[in-house]
Structure 1
Amino acid sequence: MTRALRWALVAVAVLVVAVVAVGAVVLWPVFFPDEPDLRVPGGSTPGSVVAASEYGDLTVPMKLVQAKGASVTYMSTDPDGKPIRVTGTSFVPGGTPPQGGWPVVALAHGTTGIDEACAPSRSPELGGLLTIAQSLVGAGYAVAVPDYQGLGAPGVHPYLDSVTAGRDVLDAIRATRTVFGSVSPRWAGYGSSQGGGAIWAANEESASYAPDLRPLGVVAAAPAADVVGLVDKSLAGTLTSDQAPSLQLFIEAAARSHPDIVRDDYRSARAARLWDTLSSCSGAAAAQRPAAIAALRPGDIMPRSTEATTRLTDLLESYALPKRTASAPMLVLFGDADTFIDPAWTRDAVRRACALGDTIESSEQPGKGHADVDISSALPWLRDRFAGTPAPTNCVR
């Protein structure tokens, strides 16, 4: 073996050792992450953490930034103003937090169902929010993902009650701050569909319900802000194939919360036979739900009397937004081809919010429906709010 060959082999060996060493340093947190030090002080006030455990299924990208995750049970407020336990998931980046703590982004999920088993925290994809959460943690934000009441913990889920879900969002932020102890009170939020209404309501409720937090702005995509129009459409037989099952879930959830609501006042005999399947989100019944939805016909889901119509309308109106001036700016993204939430309903909610003095940038996207709204502007918009850049608005005063 020549001297040159020997030196070449030595160089290769050194390079291999270096690569292995670097790889070990990089991959160590992936395979051997530090256990998070979670704080569980207990209590009954809104946002109090009553249970927390390590989130056991962090993605590789989260592990690479040494993120920490926790499954959290915390206190919030039910529609009657009483304390209730709510579950959720929280994340913080690894490393040293900035001065004042990690800024936090709340993620409010869309419709996953109305049963306890429907909680995003019980699904591998966090109700479709895992990729967004992963991106935010990688960008240096703490993340709070509430399940909402009745999802993940005992209780009735008040479906489409945006104010109650908004309080769940605010208390999830409080819980995230408590359980990790390195999270700032400065928060922003993103939500779509049901979550769009929840994050909008959290923005409105923040100043009065959570004065300890500092809202900077929220993005509401295809928000379920005001869906009172479902009643008139049901009576006219013009509900879309997406709206009929949404109204069914609302009626079922309302009947669970209000024993005086009679389900048969809002359904045909055919709908009654399909009812349990339409209400499901797990097990064999959930697999049959698409067929049950396809079997619905105009008039199957609608009030059967004037009294039932009034009751349904009043309840939906009590849930509708806006209710008060928002605490921070909003970006509202929605499509003009949405078959779940009529675009006119969203336009009107934005108009009324602008009249209250809100700072809103509203973008109605041509040809976009409910689930394909372009949200690429959301993260840059949120980043600008944390940077203190004045929020744009296209409200007409």
Structure 2
Amino acid sequence: MSISKKNRVGRWGRTLLTGAMVAAILGTTAQTATAAAPGQVISVTAQAEGFHGSPGGSVIEYWTTDSHGSPVRASGAMLLPSGPSPVGGLPILAFDHGTTGLGAGCGSQADPQPWLSPDYRRREDELMRYFVSRGFAVLAPDYVGLGRFDTGPHPYLELRTEATATIDLVRAARAGNPELSRTWAVAGGSQGGHAALGTTYLQRSAAPDLDFRGTIAIDPASDIEKVLAAAGPGFDLPGATGFVAMILEGLRTTRPDADIDSYLSPTGRAVVADIATRCEDDIRDRVHGLKVGDLLSRPLSDEHIKSVLSDYLTVPTSGYRTPILLLINATDTVVPSPLHAALAAQLTASGTDLQVVTGTGTHTELGPQMSSALDGFVTQLLAKPAMP
């Protein structure tokens, strides 16, 4: 039976849907081991009008896994379209956000932070509302460490945990809301584009029971591991110091085998320690005036650290089974445009079903041609009815 948005808000708004309640509804037990399973709902809480600029929405708390595969709690946002659900249920659009920092609360999805990179957050909120207007239920994870739970510093640009946080949110939302179909797609820009591509690759094995339709990646971070292999004392990549520091902190926390401290200068060790709980704007202030090379005491070029960086960061460039829309700005200076060109070339060479549309805006800005391509791609995603 279709349920109007008014009734949805009433259902979610008058109660806190806990993991135990979901277990009872689904006829399962609420034992600790079950509650900690990836994709298990902890709670769903309705939000007031204006949440991400929408008429309403919900915050979902759920279980996922950390860098070592251990269960951790995470959070995300859910936005639903108005009106009755279509036959088969609402299609899902998982929306992966861009860089927000390393500390708890920085994710800005479950708990929007209007002060955090406001122009970029506004652009992301507009894009999420666009997907809602096209009939998607939008699910936006905070990622591990960035949401409502202090689980340690966020492992920045770690492809696997970005992907598992996204897939597990989809599972949790579906477990708690029978209106959501098995049909889904993923989109994101910058770090979110990196996460979207990682999610696309991992869902083949992690969620084969779902009906995955395609991917939208906007100026995604990619080939960063190849750039870092050239970094060492004296190395300079203007504007990148904060991003590199966040990667180094992620590796320092999650990969003790990398012995990151042995690559850091005294300045680098101080910076990495200082930023572990900060959001992006504070991190940018902390590294102001520093070059990437100022963080390092020796090059990141030996085979061991190159292997660790590759395992942690690399976006797969083959093996995709569904279409990808790659929207890239030739004038991007945050993720330098040659990296976008390299990604497009690698995906094309592997035979990926790829559409590339180029603009001349700032990082993740959608120009007219890109917006038109987005409309067409979304229409393609929705061409077949959603699967219940």
**Cα distance in structure 2, aligned partners of 1:229 and 1:174:** 34
Report which stretch shifted further, 229-238 or 334-343.
Answer: 229-238
Determine the structure 1 residue equivalent to 2:96: 108
Q: Deviations over 1:180-209 (max 9, x none)?
A: 210111111210111101111111112211
Closer, same or farther: CA 53–253 of 1 in aligned 2, 3 Å: same
Q: Give yes or no for the alignment of 1:130 onto 2:125.
A: yes
Q: Deviations over 1:148-181 (max 9, x none)?
A: 1122223242211123211211121122222221
Q: Secondary structure at the match of 1:189?
A: strand
Closer, same or farther: CA 303–191 of 1 in aligned 2, 3 Å: farther
Contact 1:218 1:382 in 2 (8 A): no
Q: Deviations over 1:207-230 (max 9, x none)?
A: 211012111111101111321133
Counterparts of residues 199-348 of structure 1 (less than 5 Å)? 199-235=196-232, 237-282=234-279, 289-297=283-291, 299-302=293-296, 304=298, 309-318=302-311, 319-322=313-316, 324-348=318-342
For residue 187 of structure 1, the aligned residue among 178, 184, 187 is: 184
**Cα distance in structure 2, aligned partners of 1:205 and 1:290:** 31
**Cα distance in structure 1, aligned partners of 2:160 and 2:282:** 32
**Cα distance in structure 2, aligned partners of 1:116 and 1:179:** 24
Q: Deviations over 1:2-57 (max 9, x none)?
A: xxxxxxxxxxxxxxxxxxxxxxxxxx96xx96242756336333322122222235
Closer, same or farther: CA 305–118 of 1 in aligned 2, 3 Å: same
Shift of 1:103: 0.9
Q: How high is the sequence identity, in percent, across the aligned residues?
A: 25
Q: Which structure's CA Rg is the greater one?
A: 1
> How many residues get paired?
352
Q: Secondary structure at the match of 1:300?
A: helix
**Cα distance in structure 2, aligned partners of 1:45 and 1:220:** 29
Shift of 1:288: 5.3
**Cα distance in structure 2, aligned partners of 1:312 and 1:189:** 31
**Cα distance in structure 1, aligned partners of 2:246 and 2:266:** 17
**Cα distance in structure 1, aligned partners of 2:226 and 2:236:** 10
Higher relative contact order (CA 8 A, sep 6+): 2
Determine the structure 1 residue equivalent to 2:26: none
Closer, same or farther: CA 130–368 of 1 in aligned 2, 3 Å: closer
Q: Give yes or no for the alignment of 1:351 onto 2:345.
A: yes
Q: Unpaired segments of 5 or more residues in structure 1?
A: 1-27, 390-397
Shift of 1:97: 0.5
Contact 2:104 2:277 in 1 (8 A): no
Contact 1:280 1:289 in 2 (8 A): no
For residue 363 of structure 2, the aligned residue among 370, 377, 381 is: 370
Q: Unpaired segments of 5 or more residues in structure 2?
A: 24-29
For residue 22 of structure 2, the aligned residue among 35, 40, 48 is: 40
TM-score by structure 1 length? Answer: 0.78
Contact 1:76 1:171 in 2 (8 A): yes
Determine the structure 2 residue equivalent to 1:79: 67
**Cα distance in structure 2, aligned partners of 1:150 and 1:250:** 14
Contact 1:233 1:239 in 2 (8 A): no
Determine the structure 2 residue equivalent to 1:11: none
Report which stretch shifted further, 172-181 or 319-328.
Answer: 319-328
Closer, same or farther: CA 272–124 of 1 in aligned 2, 3 Å: closer
Determine the structure 1 residue equivalent to 2:27: none
Contact 1:90 1:143 in 2 (8 A): yes
For residue 96 of structure 1, the aligned residue among 79, 84, 87 is: 84
Determine the structure 1 residue equivalent to 2:135: 140
Contact 1:278 1:293 in 2 (8 A): no
TM-score by structure 2 length? Answer: 0.80
